[in-house]
Amino acid sequence: MIKKILEEDFSSDTLLSHLEIINDRGDTGRPILLYNNKLTDICVSISYSYPLVAVEVCKNGDNIGIDIEKIFDHISNEFLKYCFTSRELDCIAKILNQETFEHNCTILWCIKESVGKLLTIGLVGNPRAIEILFKSSKK
């Protein structure tokens, strides 16, 4: 799929068969794009939540982050305590304007995942390390 996306951006003399996507051996497992076995300045971010898939590609070495999820169901208190700070939970309850608490949790989780990927640190082992807060537009 990534090769198809890149096909539009590469010139016609570039052979897509020479592109290889591997996972970084670090904790985050972020994708790395090689061309002729050499590291490129193309960043790739991939997210999947069956049956959904999202892919973002950026040239010039700029970091990117993307996430996609189905709306969470039946969120446990343990999950909430593991993933979100108390200030984030306040934002979920008071500021986000979606239909359900589960919808708001899904939005916040996707933002956290995207930021973790953007910063190339992921959320491995400590999703609370990245705190996402929203300002209320009410005055």
Strand order of the β-sheet with 19-23 is: 19-23, 31-35, 38-49, 52-58
Q: What is the pLDDT of residues 47-106, one digit of tens each?
A: 888 888 888 878 777 888 999 999 888 899 999 999 999 999 988 877 666 678 888 899
Q: Contact 94/136 with Cβ under 8 angstroms? A: yes
- Full residue range of the structural domain in which residue 97 is found: 69-139
Whether 73 and 128 share a structural domain: yes
Whether 1 and 56 share a structural domain: yes
Residue 130: HSE in the Cβ half-sphere, 13 Å Cα cutoff: 19
Q: What is the pLDDT of residues 53-67, one digit of tens each?
A: 888 878 777 888 999
Q: What is the mean pLDDT of residues 22-44?
A: 78
Checking phi first, is residue 74 left (phi over 0); if not, alpha (psi -120 to 50) or beta? left
Whether 136 and 75 share a structural domain: yes
- In sequence order, what are the residues at sequence separation of 6 or more whose Cβ sits closer than 8 angstroms to the Cβ of residue 77? none
- Tell which wins on pLDDT, 115 or 120: 115
Whether 61 and 85 share a structural domain: no
Q: How many domains does the chain have?
A: 2
* pLDDT at residue 130, as a whole number: 93
User: What pTM value is reported for the model?
Assistant: 0.76
Strand pairing partners for 110? none
CA gap 25, 9 in Å, rounded: 27
Q: Contact 24/11 with Cβ under 8 angstroms? A: no
